[in-house]
Structure 1
Amino acid sequence: MRAQAVVAFGGGHGLHASLSALRTLVDDLTVDELTAIVTVADNGGSSGRLRGEFGVLPPGDLRMALAALCGDDEWGDTWARVLQHRFEGNGEMRGHVVGNLLIVGLWELLGDPVLALDWVGRLLGAKGRVLPMALTPMDIRAEVRGLAGADGGDPETLTTVHGQIEVATAEGVITALDLEPPDPPVSPEALRRIAEADWAFMGPGSWFSSVIPHVRVPALREAIVSTDARLVVVLNLDEQAGETGGFGPADHLAVLCEHAPGLRIHTVLADARDHGPDQLAELRQVVDAAGARLVVDDVARDDGTPRHDPVKLAAAYARIIERADGAEVVERADGAVEGR
């Protein structure tokens, strides 16, 4: 089988885990072209401060994606740690991240966000390319039902919430999500990479603030719906307080499909240990309705935290790619394989 071209969508720690896994598939020649397309809606922390002061894209999620693509050798490990280093102290630099400052500095110097990210990637020896979701900073706008404190706590009241941090911490049920501006410019290179990809991976990550925003950008959504790439949706291991409280795996998949009519999903990847039989049965119904196949595998860390293990994730991704045209496969945590 020839090496595959892959695009990965997301942001933050979820995309970092996915890219760390895909980077190892570049090493073993399963993947020969890897592109991360990263959300640019962050409005908090170092990214939010730099965005507000310089009017630039928030660099934090882009920085994390670049760090994930650094190699495992001394050069890559050192630069990944430098890129992720956060200043301490008590002055104005407190909380800023070295990689954020480097990226913003290159944006000012070169005047081209895509070119600047390519230069950072070259410096790091990154095993892939990082592109922004849009070429202008985005703001997330969500409709939230039963937001704590809204209208006396009426559970049916809808409240509009603005901003990535505000949406991520909203204590209610998110019913709809959109972006401002609604139709931002998108890098032609991002659209080209999507069109030419063999595989596309979406998730894991903060579902409403890192994953779904990609299908709310019209040009990106059209590219994702139209591509011949096989789309793999990687579900989160657990609900996320604020964003997806009370969500099971089926809810994550259903809300993604609701926000992206026409989305053609090839495979849905769920964890074998963190979801019980009832949840998986419900998930299978939603997967069948989407015309996809379900793969259940052991992809969680062994420390009990709801995070994906990049090594296990890489193995699961490799199996999915190798069995691209096979029957649906359910892989149990004990290593047994059930065909369907």
Structure 2
Amino acid sequence: MAAAPYQQILQQLLNKASLFANPDNAANIILIRPDDFFRYRAGEIEGDAETRLMDELLVALSTCVVRNPVPHFLGVCPSPSESAGEGSFSERLLEGARAIRGIEVIAPDEWMRYPVEIIHDLTADELGHVPYTDAFFAAMGTLLFRRWLRMAHGGIKVIVLDCDNTLWRGILGEDGVDGVELDPGHLALHRFMVARQQADILLCLCSKNDQAIVDRFFETHGDSILRSEHIVARKIDWRSKSQNIAELAEELNLGLDSFVFMDDNPLEVEEVRAVLPQVLSLRLPHDPAVSRYDQRDLHGDPATCRDPRRSGFLRSRWHLPASDSPHLPDSRPFGRHPRSDRFPA
């Protein structure tokens, strides 16, 4: 990672020999805080001057993207108190940047998805133009990395879910369908997964369990928001989860780097990470933190979603008896998502 010179945004975007011009960059990240354009002015920037500044920024961004077609991120960062002029400036900049192909835009409110108690460091800002607390800088870095990861992997297409102590609290084989609990955190996860399914992300189950009792849960549990019709495929057996996920990838005809695996058991998560490093494997935190996943992770890239016919077709196969369809049919007519070798898995 390399940082461009201080207060040199336009110069770096336009200079053919700048850091932003390096074709080996994994990404170019441009962070702008409107407050810095207004910092030393007694009033608002006059209309003509603001228009010229906006035009210069957008032309420079377009020039940089065309010259060096690596992923570009433009983040408009929050100010301690936003004046009307700053708000208008932010809105115009975001609108203009969204029209530039190849730029991923992050609006000020998107940085707030992480629960940081204190965002601004007014003292450090006054002394050295370091505007935020360490915690907020960490949140910004995390969000940027997740956005880059999503872009590099072409978007999430499949979420594979464990069952016991992931979709509910308890163990079906010991507690029975009526004995497991769906508390607010797990119900929040259910709602989020249904929303992902409605956005054409495929949902699968992978659990070391008895298939009959898992089926009975989804058919009979009155409080479950996630239902059988939301699931496109399942691997309910006692084999390793890495083996089952690899088979799901083959059956769905999708690359492993478009898969996310979620489990409460750290051993299962580490096993999949070791055998299938292409898969994004996440350990589900204990409730109530489980509900925070809907704010931070598992959002597919709308530009890379599959044909919705594929989701409906595969969901319909879920209801066939196992003896009739031990494997999903060849779905190559829908096309395999090519894995980019430009980025690390």
Point out the structure with the larger strand share. 1
TM-score category, normalised to shorter length: under 0.3
State the TM-score, normalized to the length of structure 2.
Answer: 0.25
Question: Between Structure 1 and Structure 2, whose CA radius of gyration is higher?
Answer: 2
Point out the structure with the larger helix share. 2
State the TM-score, normalized to the length of structure 1.
Answer: 0.26
